Amino acid sequence: MTKARSAGATDGEPSLLRQLTTIPNLLSLLRLAGVPVFLWLLLGPEEDGWAFALLVVSGVTDWLDGKLARLLDQTTRLGQLLDPAADRLYIAAALLAFLLRGIVPWWVVALLVGRELVVGLGLLVLRRHGFAPPEVTYVGKGATFVLMYALPLQLLTHDAAGTVAEVARPFAYAFTVWGVVLYLWSGALYLWQIARAVLRHRTA
């Protein structure tokens, strides 16, 4: 856990404009722009096929922007913020639409949203003590990865018939349960890191 940087500190980071124009960050911005389109497709015309395709493209670009950032040496602080933000917004948009359309049960949404609210409050406490947010854990990355597979599978199998749907449905349920468990576990790990940092700060 590290202390938060001051507002004027740059640590050699390029300007915001230069960070925005890197290929990985442009891909992240493209993913962010797709979130309202994705939500509209699900709740407006209910074009599930196009929504599924957009979610798949988002997953591919999520993998691609991280790969390109390392290959092109274009890893930036902005990119480290945009990438998880896009993931969370897609998950939030999908959960909202799926809940309204009855694709996933309410308790799945309640667990995931509750986790976000609790961790968000913990981060506010951490910020008040002068700490930067904790590093993303491998469990957290794994949870997001699994949920990004679970969501299109849920969409693919909802009210669908045929061999493909029957084969995919158990995988949709398995990925959903696994993703929820990992998401809650990662939240517990973040809270542990936050509590440990705050207690050390108070006793120092």
Binning pLDDT at 50, 70 and 90, where does residue 103 land? confident
Q: What contacts 101, CB < 8 A, 6 or more positions away?
A: 42, 43, 46, 158
Tokens of 159: 């009210």
Domains of the chain are 16-203 (1.20.120)
Q: What integer pLDDT is reported at residue 9 of this predicted model? A: 42
Instruction: State pTM to two decimals.
Output: 0.77
Strand partners, 131: 3
The per-residue pLDDT for range 57-98, each reduced to its tens digit, is: 888 888 887 788 888 888 877 777 788 788 888 888 888 999
Other CB atoms within 10 A of residue 183 CB: 23
Q: What integer pLDDT is reported at residue 35 of this predicted model? A: 92
The chain-wide mean pLDDT, for the chain, equals 84
Q: What integer pLDDT is reported at residue 82 of this predicted model? A: 81
Q: Which residue has the higher pLDDT, 163 or 13?
A: 163
Is it the case that residue 33 has pLDDT exceeding 80? Answer: yes
Binning pLDDT at 50, 70 and 90, where does residue 6 land? very low
Is it the case that residue 113 has pLDDT exceeding 70? Answer: yes
Contact 172, 159 (CB under 8 A): no
Q: What contacts 85, CB < 8 A, 6 or more positions away?
A: 32
Which backbone phi and psi does 158 adopt, to 5 degrees?
Answer: -65, 125
Strand partners, 3: 131
Q: Which residue has the higher pLDDT, 87 or 9?
A: 87
The per-residue pLDDT for range 137-180, each reduced to its tens digit, is: 889 888 988 988 888 888 888 877 788 788 888 999 999 999 99
